[in-house]
């Protein structure tokens, strides 16, 4: 069985935008992301991106644009010595009541099946409570909330409405990767 590091995209690898990241020229990769993913790529972990892209379901962007952004992002990561083993995306609006939109565990369970993953010994890195919840709901053993993207505000929220299970807090993806590999 393989272990994985599940990565949220927006707010973890690239900057969030208030009205969604809808085109490649709106993508801004965090300066530490390439180094972090490069280091992680030399480890035993599978690297899997999980991303809610409800802008598609809301009719704000075509799925092709999401796929182009993701393909370009992977290309840049590869050029910087990193690797992404798979990307799972939920294109649905919340009203669609799909089973893949985080905090639901659908994308992680699909990845588990596709990549034969040992979820209990895997990690998830996200900038939102919904990321942590998806991880917990799927049985991912180790959860990290980074303080980039929505992370700071989400931590304030989580301090007033705690989750009934533990998670780590890390300043950013690079520090999160260092703690996983230490
Ligand atoms: Mg995010
Ligand atoms: Zn979905």
| Ligand 2 geometric centre to CA of 105 (Å) | 10
CA nearest 171: which of 179, 160, 161, 163? 179
**pLDDT surpasses 90 at 18:** no
| Ligand 2 geometric centre to CA of 163 (Å) | 23
**Mean predicted confidence (pLDDT) in 59-77:** 97
Q: What domains are there in the chain, each with its CATH number?
A: 4-181 (3.40.50.1000)
Ligand nearest to the CA of 127: 1
Task: Express each pLDDT in 127-176 by its tens digit.
Answer: 999 999 999 999 999 999 999 999 999 999 999 999 999 999 999 999 99
| Ligand 2 geometric centre to CA of 64 (Å) | 16
85 catalytic per annotation: no
Distance CA 86, CA 65 (A): 17
């Amino acid at each position: 069985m393989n272990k994985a590091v599940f990565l949220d995209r927006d707010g973890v690898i690239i900057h969030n935008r208030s009205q969604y990241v809808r085109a490649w020229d709106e993508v801004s990769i965090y300066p530490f992301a390439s180094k972090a993913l490069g280091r992680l790529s030399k480890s035993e972990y599978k690297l899997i991106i999980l991303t809610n892209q409800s802008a598609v379901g809301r009719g704000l962007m075509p799925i092709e644009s999401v796929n182009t952004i993701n393909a370009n992002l992977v290309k840049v990561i590869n050029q910087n010595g990193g690797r992404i083993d798979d990307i799972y995306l939920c294109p649905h609006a919340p009203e669609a009541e799909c089973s893949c939109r985080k905090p639901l565990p659908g994308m992680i369970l699909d990845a588990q099946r596709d990549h034969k993953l040992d979820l209990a010994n895997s990690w998830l890195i996200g900038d939102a409570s919904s990321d942590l919840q998806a991880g917990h709901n799927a049985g991912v053993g180790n959860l990290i909330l980074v303080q980039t993207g929505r992370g700071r505000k989400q931590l304030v929220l989580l301090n007033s409405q705690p989750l009934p299970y533990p998670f780590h807090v890390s300043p950013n993806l690079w520090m999160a990767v260092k703690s996983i590999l230490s």
